[in-house]
Amino acid sequence: MAKKKKFDTNPLDPEFPEKAKQEAETTALPKNEFQTAEFPPASITEEETRRFNEANFTAYQAPFTGQNVPANYQTTKLYADTNQSSTRKVAKIGLPENILTALPYVPFFLGFISGLLILFLVPKSESKVRFHAAQGLAAHVAIFIISAILRGIDKVTDFADFGLLIFQVVTTIMLIIFAVKAWQGKPIHIESVSDLTDWLEDKIKPKE
């Protein structure tokens, strides 16, 4: 018997090669009795995809200017829509909307009286006009109250007189700015008198 070498060992089953050979034999599969289905031809009513010619394609292109802006972009209609308040007449009064929204912010008693009259005359359907009337009236009421307090403090100290003068100048300028913005149709919201604005608009009802 031949002497085995030091590493001449086979860890596999001695019958493994024969078994592997038998398992590797190809088994023929039964013939498939079914045929592969084919897609039906396209319907004769199916339309072909529309192809753009060069004229149609370039009609949707605008010169590149660094921004994606349509070629026919115009702001004329938008500007006209935002300025309709200058031509639209308010019901039961006949004055333009922008004038009625600006009047309550006019300084001194003119704005105060205008706000009251508008709330009494303008119907509830004119919510924008009534809001500005109530807000302008609320601003005047707040100014009157603070001015009265400063006049009372003036009897105690001389600094209150100077403070009252500064307050009147600042509030007058503020009211003029509000009146101009309201006339231009720009939004105005005075947060400090918002509660009083809502109360005045709700409590002062228009006359039928």
Beta bridge partners of 96: 89
Q: Is 125 among the domain residues?
A: yes
Q: Is 43 among the domain residues?
A: no
Q: Is 183 among the domain residues?
A: yes
- Candidates 135, 165, 134, 133; CA nearest to 147 is 165
Q: Is 48 among the domain residues?
A: no
- Distance separating alpha carbons of residues 133 and 102, to the nearest angstrom: 8
State the residue range of the domain holding 157. 89-203
Q: Is 147 among the domain residues?
A: yes
Q: Is 170 among the domain residues?
A: yes
CB atoms within 10 A of CB 123: 16
pLDDT in tens, the chain (208 residues): 555 444 444 555 667 667 666 665 555 556 555 566 666 665 555 455 555 555 554 555 555 555 555 544 444 443 444 456 666 888 778 889 999 999 999 998 999 999 999 999 999 889 999 999 999 999 999 999 999 988 888 767 767 778 888 999 999 999 999 999 999 999 999 999 999 999 999 999 887 6
Q: Which sign, positive or negative, has the C-alpha torsion 35, 36, 40, 42?
A: negative
Q: Is 16 among the domain residues?
A: no
Number of domains in the chain: 1
pTM above 0.85, yes or no: no
Q: Is 39 among the domain residues?
A: no
